Amino acid sequence: MRVFTHGSNVNFQESAREMLLPDLARYIHSFSFDAQANLFGTISLEREEIRVYGHAVAMDIDEQAEQFRFVYQLPETGEKQVLTYLLDHFQISHEAVFDVIENEQSVRYQAVYFTFEHSEEEETYFLAATQPVSEPLAYVAEFWRVTEAIGRDIDFAISGCSAFDLNRKLRAERDSSVN
């Protein structure tokens, strides 16, 4: 079973946790995929670029086929498109949730990011609601700026999360330096 890191930033409370693909699938399915409810696209801070592909219709993780699939609808034509990545290319997921002021009221807004690596370059996709904010892409960009580094220094797939192993290693190093 594939293990990966999920970074989270909720009102500047940062955390990273171990996540399994079924956990991510359940999380994804908690979103509403009603027509035009969510924007789907890519974001790159390096290129200073946000591309909106369309409205997310569905997202699916198929462990049997080893694929991560995004289905979105083009805004111009309504035509559905499918974007597929191999699960081996999936690197990390992030969520950002902040209480923001919109029209003099506090509203909670969320964006989710999925980063894949291919040809030694990263591509990050976002999923964000079209409501309740007036400028969702501004929030998508700012949230990503303060969230993208979370969890990148942790690799649960290599060793799992185990303080015991680290303590054993530190004790062994200390004991060998005493002798």
Check residue 163 and give its pLDDT. 44
Per-residue pLDDT tens over the stretch 106-160: 999 999 999 999 888 999 999 999 989 999 999 999 999 999 999 988 876 655 5
Sequence ranges of the domains in the chain:
3-178
Whether the link from the prior residue into 136 is cis, omega within 30° of 0, is no
Confidence of residue 29 (pLDDT cuts 50, 70, 90): confident
Distance CA(3)–CA(5), nearest Å, equals 7
30 versus 5: the higher-pLDDT residue is: 5
Q: Cα separation of 94 and 116, whole Å?
A: 12
pLDDT of 166 reads 55
